[in-house]
Amino acid sequence: MASALPRTVRAVDTDQLLDLQKEAAVCGFSQRLPVDWLREHLAAEATHYLVPTLVHQLRHRPEVSPQWRCQLLLTVSTGEQIWGLLDVLPDTFDKISETLGAEVKKAIVSRMEQAVTQREWSERRVAAGIHKEAPQN
């Protein structure tokens, strides 16, 4: 299993992202969003982006350690891009194809730095009466 954190951005479609979130749930990772929330709010045909930012070690759970904590840039059904986190196994991340050029990666990271968090986006929708509850993440 790879453990060196790559400096890259990977693109996934909505189905791939849901699979990553399901794997995170099965593994009991702390940084993930509920799959049902994602199904409800993600743009179905969108591309989403993962940027590994931290190697997360779990000495008490060596079967799922290390994990890579990734920042996410998600496109929701309103067309907005929001920011979140997802813990991913290194082998799983390595299986995602490298498809983006350097300039595109820079642009994605820049958009990520400007994006509101998933929690902020959800809270705004609740405050506006658009959605009833925001998941805790």
Q: What is the pTM of this model?
A: 0.87
Q: What is the CA radius of gyration of the chain?
A: 15
Residue 101 amino acid letter: G
What are φ and ψ of residue 2, in 5° steps? -70, 145
Q: How far apart are CA 56 and CA 69, in angstroms?
A: 6
- pLDDT tens for the chain, residues 1 to 137: 446 889 999 999 999 999 999 999 988 887 888 888 899 999 999 999 999 999 877 777 767 778 899 999 999 999 999 999 999 999 999 999 999 999 999 999 999 999 999 989 988 888 888 765 545 55
